[in-house]
Structure 1
Amino acid sequence: MTYDPFTRGAHPVGVRSDLWTDTERQRTLPVEIWYPAHDHHRGHDLDPEHWDTFSPGWVAEGQANPADVVPQTAVRNADWADPSAEHPLILLIHGYAGFRREATFLGTHLASHGYVVVSPDVVGSTFLDVNAFLTAEEPSLTSPAEHDGEPDDDNDHLLTIAQNRKKDIPFLIDTATATLPVRPHGVGVTGASFGGWSSIVAPAVDDRVTAVVPMCPAGGDSPVADPDNGFVTELALDWHNDAPTLVLAADRDSLLPLYGQLALFRSLPATRKRMVVLARADHNHFVDDIDTGQAWLKEFAEQLAALFPDGPGDWPRVARSVEPMERLVPGDKAKLAWQGMVTAHFDAHLSDDPGAKAFVSTDPDAVLAARGIDTYTIEFGSPSSAVTTHRAR
């Protein structure tokens, strides 16, 4: 059978939630766990009657109404496919002002291909945490122009988040290997924005991480990059392993523009690294509800522009750069692209799948163009770090 990472995998998908506590730091992280389920659940994960539902991360616990509830293509508390097997582990880490279920399209897809995927709520960095921080910072003024807030507050906030994320990664791997049927080595990490930043630092903070997929990663130059914030000061590139790296980016990223991600990509220490750029896509083309995310991004940028008119960050510029969804690539195409590319990367470099190895050696732009998805790719593929670029015509 021809290898195809874009289609749903062979396994039905289960999902569980848990609370994992790092007793040394007195830090508890809610986690979502997607995993291959027992065959007697086959078809249930694709049947709306059996789908799990949850309240999105922007709704406080217990305050959701029926209109807020959203589904995911997984069966809640399904039986494991084989509790004695050691599945490869992937950490899926959300961005700033995100939540653990913001990319169920990717978590469930990877689980269907045999992975155990752990996605934490990064406490201090969730939507509700960030909203509480911004609400506390915002003065009771009638005009944003009167705001005289302290930019250092925002830098300290981001620094604390960055430092916590670096310590969270080894803790999550430790807990997963101690409590779940996963192998204790060959771990993959992916995530968008601050989750992309987390993917980049992961090989530096834990030698069990051997492949990464940073999506629209923070850490490079941008209108919101400040020399004193955690994106910059805590970025670690002293990797333990030469982890094969796939960077996924959007060519119209209004928050972290492509020029910064290109420079960041070039600085990564991996000798095998590839960057696939999706055309007509913005910063939130990496989550489940891209339409809602795009509208929120503009509101968020406008809120920060009012809160920090003189910095840190040129938030008015970001707010002006956010385009309406009708001018951008549809969300279903973005999600299909990411499902296939992320799965193939991990299949090739974590699961040693021959079909995946052959797939990742082909022209990704031609593969995606055949599915109506417009991309271009930049690649460092040899020890000499020669650069190749290609785009489907």
Structure 2
Amino acid sequence: MLSVYRFLTAVLLVLLFVPSSLTAQTAPDGFVFGDLLPDAPELAARGSYGVGVRTMTLTNTDQADVLRTKEGQTPRYDRQLTVEIWYPARIPAGKAERVVYEQVMGSANDPKRPLIPFTFAGRALRDADPDPGTGAYPLVIVSHGYLGSRLLFTYLTENLASKGYVVVSIDHAESTFRDAAGFPSTLLNRSLDDLFVLNEMARLSAKTSKTFLAGLLDASNTALIGYSMGGYGALNAAGAGYSAQAAKFFSQLAGGSTALEARTTSSPAYKASQDPRIKAVVAFAPWGMERGVWDAEGLAGLTRPTLFVAGSQDDISGYEKGIKAIYDGAVNADRYLLTYLNARHNVAPNPPPAESLKPGLPLDEYLRYAEPAWNERRINNINQHFVTAFLGMHLKKQDYARYFELNENSNTKLWTGFKPRTSVGLEMRHARP
């Protein structure tokens, strides 16, 4: 009996002190962000494609460096963006779809929240060969919040790649956990980064390209997904021009820079930038309406089909005068509003990583991911379901309309695609132009 006790004690000590990165790599049967709960709705399940993942760095040259504006003079710089790309892939026999992502929590330049590295597992194979399928796949571009990272939504990016999309998630420079800097950079660059990445994906996917993307994606069939400040930028990239008040607010923060004026409704440059390759938008908790970022004219410029996702108690972007007001004002778009009742702002990210549960950390490291009234894994599964249906309708012309033909309040009648007794705590609104 004593020997058994010593053996179990030794095993426990090994498990307690093994590095987190090793734990992630050697726990292939453990929970991975995006895995299904028993009550997951119908379309949350992964698709039939294997999933590959690669990292790439893109450089947008000669951009306005608004963080260094002095006396109204703005220098130029080359803006580097790291992107993570998930894509349908051929998984060799004997190989598992397993990847370990490296991330940090905390906030650069904030001594009260030092950067803490951590790892977590995903269901994709690093550098796998692409599956050419039967033709080029639709493109999905994903944009995080402030602060955030390109790895904040792996539950969704992996899931979409398994369903036949090429998904590109951006690390927006000067707006990530690792390189947090002044807010004017985020205000200006979100929509610009989205459009630049769209152009780069079109270039790199040309059949003459020497990259793995050659012939793999169809940039003329693109959706934008944005969360918080990512939603702010995605809506602007898709036609919702900023207001004159937004340009004034930006100039006050950015040392007199007028760079945001080119993204306002009245700007000829903004009108010329409208890109017909963008077919649909998913805006999770988009920020800005309560700050006067949009007016009626700006919101009327949004004509793409749009799925808004919000928490009814959002205390960052606001709900009635924030996200719902954007939905109400986008009168020229076929639009939906999915609302998580009693949720706050975190209706888009992965669940809280294990490291955020450790005692002694600032509460914000946990609340960057968690919802007080909701299970984040449950939110993830619901998002997988509705984003699959929405993008399927608008990028693949799939017959998924029935998943949106719902009574407004999920508590009153079971929603299509949900298991019995599980469609509670949600609202779905739909408005046409």
- TM-score relative to the length of structure 2: 0.65
Change (3 A) 1:18 1:56: same
1:359 equivalent in structure 2:
403
Residue 60 of structure 1 deviates from its aligned partner by 9.8
- Aligned positions, number: 319
CA distance in 2, matches of 1:184, 1:323: 32
SS at match of 2:92: helix
Q: Which sits farther off after the overlay, 342-351 or 288-297?
A: 288-297
- The one-letter code matched in structure 1 to 2:197 is L
| Gap runs ≥5 in structure 1 | 46-50, 134-156, 302-321, 384-393
Residue 178 of structure 1 deviates from its aligned partner by 1.6
1:50-199 pair list within 5 angstroms: 51-58=98-105, 68-82=118-132, 85-130=135-180, 133=181, 157-179=182-204, 180=213, 181-199=216-234
Q: Does 1:381 align with 2:428?
A: no
Change (3 A) 1:41 1:198: farther
| Gap runs ≥5 in structure 2 | 1-40, 64-77, 109-113, 205-212, 240-273
Residue 331 of structure 1 deviates from its aligned partner by 1.1
Change (3 A) 1:31 1:380: same
2:304 equivalent in structure 1:
243
2:384 equivalent in structure 1:
339
Change (3 A) 1:69 1:294: closer
CA distance in 2, matches of 1:200, 1:285: 17
Identity over aligned pairs, percent: 25
Q: Which has the higher helix share?
A: 1
Change (3 A) 1:98 1:293: farther
1:284 to 325, 346, 356: 346
CA distance in 2, matches of 1:13, 1:71: 14
Do the aligned residues in 2 keep the contact of 1:110 with 1:343 (CA within 8 Å)?
yes
2:280 to 194, 203, 211: 211
Do the aligned residues in 2 keep the contact of 1:55 with 1:64 (CA within 8 Å)?
no
SS at match of 1:100: coil
2:73 equivalent in structure 1:
none
Change (3 A) 1:232 1:299: farther
Q: Which sits farther off after the overlay, 171-180 or 20-29?
A: 20-29
Residue 232 of structure 1 deviates from its aligned partner by 5.8
Change (3 A) 1:291 1:285: farther
Residue 342 of structure 1 deviates from its aligned partner by 0.8
Change (3 A) 1:5 1:14: same
User: Aligned-pair RMSD on alpha carbons?
Assistant: 3.4
2:26 equivalent in structure 1:
none
SS at match of 1:92: strand
Rg bigger for which structure?
A: 2
CA distance in 2, matches of 1:42, 1:349: 36
CA distance in 2, matches of 1:17, 1:8: 22
Change (3 A) 1:334 1:378: closer
2:395 to 324, 345, 350: 350
